[in-house]
Amino acid sequence: MATQRFSLRRGAPRDLELSWGFGYRNFTVKQRGRLLGTIASRAELGAGRTFTLDDKATLSVRLVGASWLAPELELLRNGVALPGSALDPFTRLSAASNAVFVVAGLSLLVALLRFGSDRGEAIGMAIFSALFLLLGFLTRRGSLAAAITALVLYLLDALAGLATGVVAPGAIFVRGFLVLLLVRGILGIRELRRRGLLPTPEGRLWRVLAWVPALCALAGLSMLANAYLGGRGTDASTLFARVADSVVVVVRDGPGSDDSQGSGIVVGAGRVITNGHVVGQARQVKVFFGGREWPARVVYRDPTRDLAELKVDGLPATPAAIRPQVPAVGERVYAVGAPQGLELTLSEGLVSSLRSVDDGSAPLIQTSAPISPGSSGGGLFDEAGRLVGWTTFQLAEGQNLNFAVPAGWLADFEKRQGMPGGLEFFREDERPAQAAVAPEPAPAGRPVLEILGASWEQDQAAALEELAAREFVARELAQALRSPEGRHRTRAAEALAALPADRRGGAAESVVYALSNERDPAVMLALLNAARAFGAEGDVALGRLVSISRDPLLRREGVDALGRQGTQLAVEQLVRFLASEQDPDLRAAARAAIGPGGEIAARLLVGELATCPYREEACVTLIDTLGDIGAAGKLAVPRLWELREHDGAIRAAADRAIARIDAAAGR
């Protein structure tokens, strides 16, 4: 039951009581506790009723306004609105000024939230907030010009926000309610002026302040025109100057003699987002910005969406403004990155299409803005300089078939770690940073699937010979690994394994990604044999199964492959895996693979032991692995003696490891 009390005259006691149930049913009117009458239904209340008060005055009660437009109770005593009622001009004036103050407060809150990521936008919102604080003060004093100015500016801001995608469609209802309060407030001020209840204040100060709303309107309109009209029509040179301080070059030392180089976008203090395939499995990379080299470490990876986050302490770059909404097809966009190591290269194009993905999230952005190897991880910006995506890969067989992952994927990036599969399976391999890019002709001859079909069944040796003679056979066979026919996938794997090493063209990663998504046991075996046949290249690719697969058998293959590599990076991956893995069989396999790692493994294991004893089971496993290393583990003995101070399993494991290390060292 809702209840409201009103005064019959301004300043008098509130002796009139109105109450009603849900939907304005059983509406009752009382004065000083005496029942004056009731109204049974909402329909009757909409038609209106008249009651006689104690002083013989008439009280008219009526529900006005459509149900979807916040209906109001019209309470009139002898034709004049009751003080404090919805139609009271003073009430409307107060509600309008409060609405202006709410806009000022929300704008200030947004400014504080954006200060760390987009200082320019934060300053603009702070100015907008100060402007509405002044307009709210003047509206509360009864300035019709201030109320109208606030209404016009708020409408323009809402329309511009909707046009540029800043304002979500759902927020239009809240904005509409605030606009309604402002319109009613303007009507209330006019009514008070008509009755002579709100005389214009006198004095020099008020006459000076009377000009402020007009000046505020001009300043606000100028700001909006610059932010929304000018921003949408920004020329390329202005946009480049705006975003250049947010783009960095990312370099990692890859396996072998070549380096992997790409781009990255600064999204927060010391936070750089790039493509996952740029950093690979490295934990330490380098970032180049402003002519300097900055050490960086990889803190998050999402192989499924081909994203990685770097932490770069002290990086003085400006975070990019992010637009989570996907741009429309036909919208002009700009790519900024470091293709072929050429830092801060700008290219221009259109959003060509939006390609949906299987998980129903924001679609991939297809663009005609040219990109090249080294552009991966660079930014795709709209005309206002806001980041809409990360340029990721291109299809060399066509013209301007370039793709970017949407900026909206950043919202749940940290929640999506260790997912299987990934866009990397569908991209072309990155060339080295300084490699020349030459257009490659489309493959000629019969379709590969035709050769892997009837021709293979008739004469396998002839089919292999025909495939080996094709110029781009590795790429064609990698495409065949995605065939819906299991026999085609199996034969493509066998054909890749039979190719000479110089013809495989980096197909090992394609085989392993196909393996991580395969469910047919026969095809899995063929893929696994193919990856093993690639030697060191296959071991590097198989090592990635540890992080991208959820199949215990495939993860075991990844552990074994890392052990065969024997590099520092591989041992580092094994130690991290050992510290977090729950499967005892996989832990045992990792221990065996780490064993030959020597002093490198010992140092890495000691580093992981820094968190003991907070993870007792993991600590025991790491300590036992130090014992497996033997004499090379002697550098860990001081730490093991420290761990003996703990009781239980950790102390027992430390005793075992010390004894085994001493025995291996002949002490």
**Is pLDDT above 60 for 207?**
no
Residue 353 belongs to a domain? yes
Structural domain ending residue among the three candidates 11, 44, 78? 78
> Residues for the chain: how many in total?
667
> Could you report the per-residue pLDDT of 44-81, keeping only the tens digit for each?
888 888 998 888 888 898 888 755 556 778 888 888 88
Query: What is the amino acid identity at position 646?
Result: H
Integer Cα distance of 341 and 118 in angstroms: 27
Q: Does one domain contain both 276 and 417?
A: yes
Higher pLDDT, 50 or 585: 50
C-alpha dist (Å) from residue 447 to 453, 465, 511: 10, 15, 20
Integer Cα distance of 504 and 501 in angstroms: 6
Average pLDDT, the chain: 78
pLDDT confidence band for 263 (50 / 70 / 90): very high
Integer Cα distance of 520 and 490 in angstroms: 10
Contact between 75 and 107 under an 8 Å Cβ cutoff? The reply is: no
Q: Does one domain contain both 412 and 265?
A: yes
> Could you report the per-residue pLDDT of 330-367, keeping only the tens digit for each?
999 999 998 877 788 899 999 998 887 655 678 889 99
Which residue range forms the structural domain that includes residue 626?
567-667
Phi-psi region of 203 (alpha: psi -120 to 50; beta: other; left: phi over 0): left
Residue 170 has a pLDDT of: 58
Residue 85 belongs to a domain? no
**Is pLDDT above 50 for 202?**
no
Q: Does one domain contain both 656 and 575?
A: yes
Residue 505 has a pLDDT of: 67
Residue 276 has a pLDDT of: 84
Residue 95 belongs to a domain? yes
Residue-wise DSSP of 97-161: HHHHHHHHHHHHHHHHHHTTT-HHHHHHHHHHHHHHHHHHHHHHTT-HHHHHHHHHHHHHHHHHH
Residue 397 belongs to a domain? yes
Q: Does one domain contain both 154 and 58?
A: no
Q: What percent of the chain has pLDDT over 70?
A: 81
Averaged over 567-594, what is the pLDDT? 78
Neighbours of 145 (CB within 10 A): 18
pLDDT confidence band for 256 (50 / 70 / 90): very low
pLDDT confidence band for 390 (50 / 70 / 90): very high
Give φ, ψ of 168 to 5 degrees: -70, 145
Structural domain ending residue among the three candidates 538, 565, 592? 565
The two three-digit tokens of residue 201, written as one number:
């204040």
Residue 433 has a pLDDT of: 35
Q: Does one domain contain both 524 and 537?
A: yes
Residue 244 belongs to a domain? no
Averaged over 455-484, what is the pLDDT? 82
What is the distance of C-alpha 264 from the center of its chain? 15
Residue 546 has a pLDDT of: 76
Residue 407 belongs to a domain? yes
> Could you report the per-residue pLDDT of 240-249, keeping only the tens digit for each?
888 999 999 9
Integer Cα distance of 252 and 257 in angstroms: 11
For residue 352, give every residue at least 6 positions away whose Cβ sits within 8 Å of its Cβ, in sequence order, or none.
329, 366, 367, 368, 400, 401
**Is pLDDT above 50 for 431?**
no
Q: Does one domain contain both 73 and 193?
A: no
| Closest to 429 measured CA to CA, from 541, 284, 577 | 541
Averaged over 139-155, what is the pLDDT? 84
For residue 12, what is the domain's CATH number?
A: 2.40.128
Q: Does one domain contain both 119 and 213?
A: yes
pLDDT confidence band for 507 (50 / 70 / 90): confident
pLDDT confidence band for 272 (50 / 70 / 90): very high
**Is pLDDT above 80 for 93?**
yes
Q: Does one domain contain both 411 and 463?
A: no
Higher pLDDT, 63 or 543: 63
**Is pLDDT above 50 for 143?**
yes
Higher pLDDT, 158 or 147: 147
Burial class (CB in 10 A: 0-12, 13-18, 19+), 279: buried
Q: Does one domain contain both 528 and 546?
A: yes
Q: Does one domain contain both 109 and 136?
A: yes
Residue 118 has a pLDDT of: 59
Q: Does one domain contain both 574 and 559?
A: no
For residue 259, what is the domain's CATH number?
A: 2.40.10.120
Residue 112 belongs to a domain? yes
Residue 128 has a pLDDT of: 83
pLDDT confidence band for 229 (50 / 70 / 90): very low
Indicate the number of domains in the chain: 5
Give φ, ψ of 385 to 5 degrees: 80, 20
pLDDT confidence band for 197 (50 / 70 / 90): confident
The two three-digit tokens of residue 567, written as one number:
């590099």
Residue 169 has a pLDDT of: 56
Q: Does one domain contain both 561 and 577?
A: no
Structural domain ending residue among the three candidates 78, 110, 141? 78
Residue 257 has a pLDDT of: 31
Residue 238 belongs to a domain? no
Residue 559 has a pLDDT of: 82
Contact between 80 and 176 under an 8 Å Cβ cutoff? The reply is: no
pLDDT confidence band for 233 (50 / 70 / 90): very low
The two three-digit tokens of residue 24, written as one number:
């304005």
For residue 210, give every residue at least 6 positions away whose Cβ sits within 8 Å of its Cβ, in sequence order, or none.
143, 145
